[in-house]
Amino acid sequence: MAAGGPALPQERRLVTEIPGPASRELLARRDRSVARGVSHVLPVFVTAAGGGVLVDADGNSLIDFGSGIAVTGVGNSAPEVVERVTDQVSRFTHTCFMVAPYEGYVSVCEELAWLTPGGHDKRSALFSSGAEAVENAVKIARHATGRPAVITFDHAYHGRTNLTMALTAKNMPYKHRFGPFAGEIYRAPMAYPLRWPTGPGNCAEEAFAVVTELIHTQVGEQNVAALVIEPIQGEGGFVVPPDGFLPRLAAFCRDNGIVFIADEIQTGFCRTGDWFACDHESVVPDLVTTAKALAGGLPLAAVTGRAALMDAVHPGGLGGTYGGNPVACAAALGAIAAMERGDLAGRARHIGAVMLPRLRDLAARHPVIAEVRGRGAMLAIELTVPGTLQPAPDVAKRVASACHRAGLMVLTCGTFGNVLRFLPPLVIGDELLGEGLTILEHAFGRA
């Protein structure tokens, strides 16, 4: 059996068509046993992964520009993660932290207090998925403030549970026919420079004015428990708000007793070139939600925030059977060690510096690319009918399929499905990164 991790040959190698016969056979089995609602970007069945590659059941080695949706920043089966998980799993796998505690949980909370923005006194609670963390952040904010309303944004994505579906903007495929949704959620326009009606130059100021007016006229500041925002939106299209928007929102929240929740589930842990995307403008949220890259591929999520807010909740009010599972905590401690050792925030900035000029070059040659945007190793290109803002999701689909056939895993996103996003593992080598970009360029040439 092939071992994964960074020892895997860091090469693209295609020995069959994509997906190959072994993957197609597994897909037929999958169709007979797995619900149709759970779908795939690319049905290659993975047998090993590490560094910047995914190896499939046919022996193909694909370049990974997806990191399992921003999870394996440290690379798949990173040695620090494997070592600590192996040690932990041989000692004990579960007690339930609410039944009998263990040190790993506490150590992860100490790391979160140290790494998340702000030097204030913090507490954390651990969960198993990002959606669960967002739900709990809202629970904590409501409990601490005694207020009901929550502000969310156009293009937001916060998960698929009932409350987080209500926070999420996009109908298809996330919400369609899954309602009714949780109440007391109010949606505000997002500062989306490319699509701001009066142009990107006015976006920060006008978007802030629209949001605060909406809160004032439709909800009432004193009724708002929390404002939840992704500092760079993920599934909604890698929308980067203009500088100034987030600090203004944070100040408005502070002035009105509203809990400012930064959902850093996709942006966190070095992805954007800082430990957290909020660091870019020194924004200090009251609560931060994290998951994905936190534990190098094992399911772990957290809410971290001001001690007074977090500790407002009565004992027993927060938790869950698996939240902060000891094996997942061991993985998180390994992943954080790997991020520190490898200066993965620096690596993310390097990846951005390599990718951005080539993506901009590509945009100069293909007018279907309306914008190249992102930060660090969280980059995207938005496709529109040339000269207009009319989304071109069909082109995004064709380019992604051409990349897949050539052995490059890329993902799409966006409210209109017209954004190609790039989330390579932060440990990917420059050669693979360059080869991936060449494949993308060829794919555009044929799209």
Ligand X SMILES: Cc1ncc(COP(=O)(O)O)c(C=O)c1O
Instruction: Candidates 37-45, 174-182, 227-235, 423-431: pick the segment binding ligand X (CB under 6 A).
Output: 227-235
What is the identity of the amino acid at 83? E
Q: Which is nearer to ligand X, 263 or 274 (CB)?
A: 263
The least CB distance from residue 70 to ligand X, in Å, is 7
CA dist., res. 143 & res. 157, Å (int): 23
In sequence order, what are the residues at sequence separation of 6 or more whose Cβ sits closer than 8 angstroms to the Cβ of residue 368?
A: 383, 384, 385, 386, 392, 395, 444, 447
CA dist., res. 313 & res. 142, Å (int): 10
Q: Which is nearer to ligand X, 99 or 172 (CB)?
A: 172
HSE-CB for 387 with a 13 A CA cutoff:
0
The least CB distance from residue 138 to ligand X, in Å, is 12
Binding of residue 235 to ligand X (CB under 6 A): yes
Q: Which is nearer to ligand X, 269 or 444 (CB)?
A: 269
Binding of residue 265 to ligand X (CB under 6 A): yes
The least CB distance from residue 332 to ligand X, in Å, is 14
Contacts of ligand X in 116-175 (CB under 6 A): 129-131, 134, 157-159
CA dist., res. 232 & res. 153, Å (int): 12
DSSP-derived letter for residue 339 is H
Binding of residue 261 to ligand X (CB under 6 A): no
Instruction: Candidates 12-20, 32-40, 93-101, 261-269: pick the segment binding ligand X (CB under 6 A).
Output: 261-269
**Going along 292-418, which residue ranges are E strands?**
301-306, 369-375, 378-383, 408-409, 411-413
Q: Which is nearer to ligand X, 20 or 236 (CB)?
A: 236
Among 215, 219, 278, 291, interactor with ligand X by CB under 6 A: 291
Could you tell me which residues are beta bridge partners of residue 185?
150
Instruction: Kindly compute the dihedral angle of the four CA atoms of residues 396, 399, 400, 405, in this order, to the nearest 10 degrees.
Output: 160
Binding of residue 67 to ligand X (CB under 6 A): no
Q: Which is nearer to ligand X, 6 or 68 (CB)?
A: 68
- Which two structure tokens, joined as six digits, stand for 110? 């100490």
CA dist., res. 121 & res. 7, Å (int): 41
Binding of residue 240 to ligand X (CB under 6 A): no
The least CB distance from residue 71 to ligand X, in Å, is 9
Binding of residue 234 to ligand X (CB under 6 A): yes
What are the residue ranges of helices labelled H in 342-427? 344-365, 393-405
What is the identity of the amino acid at 155? H
CA dist., res. 130 & res. 120, Å (int): 24
- Which two structure tokens, joined as six digits, stand for 216? 């004032």
Q: Which is nearer to ligand X, 134 or 336 (CB)?
A: 134
Residue nearest to ligand X (CB): 130
Residue 424's alpha-carbon distances to 71, 147, 304, 359, in angstroms, are: 10, 40, 26, 14
Binding of residue 211 to ligand X (CB under 6 A): no
The least CB distance from residue 137 to ligand X, in Å, is 10
- Which two structure tokens, joined as six digits, stand for 190? 């997002």
Q: Which is nearer to ligand X, 61 or 168 (CB)?
A: 168
Q: Which is nearer to ligand X, 157 or 208 (CB)?
A: 157
Among 263, 274, 279, 286, interactor with ligand X by CB under 6 A: 263
Instruction: Candidates 22-30, 146-154, 230-238, 303-311: pick the segment binding ligand X (CB under 6 A).
Output: 230-238
Binding of residue 248 to ligand X (CB under 6 A): no
How many CB atoms are closer than 10 A to CB 45?
18
Of 213, 258, 267, nearest in space to 240 by CA: 267
* Count, residues near ligand X per rule CB under 6 A: 15
Pairing assessment for the beta strands 259-263 and 378-383 based on DSSP bridges? unpaired
The least CB distance from residue 405 to ligand X, in Å, is 25
User: Interhelix angle for 245-255 vs 203-214, to 10°?
Assistant: 30
Contacts of ligand X in 352-381 (CB under 6 A): none
The least CB distance from residue 299 to ligand X, in Å, is 8
Cα angle, residue 267 at apex, residues 39 and 334 outer, rounded to 5° = 90
CA dist., res. 106 & res. 125, Å (int): 10
The least CB distance from residue 385 to ligand X, in Å, is 28
Binding of residue 266 to ligand X (CB under 6 A): yes
The least CB distance from residue 300 to ligand X, in Å, is 10
The least CB distance from residue 446 to ligand X, in Å, is 30
CA dist., res. 86 & res. 84, Å (int): 5
User: Using CB under 6 A as the criterion, which residues of the chain lie in contact with ligand X when the complex forms?
Assistant: 69, 129-131, 134, 157-159, 230, 234-235, 263, 265-266, 291
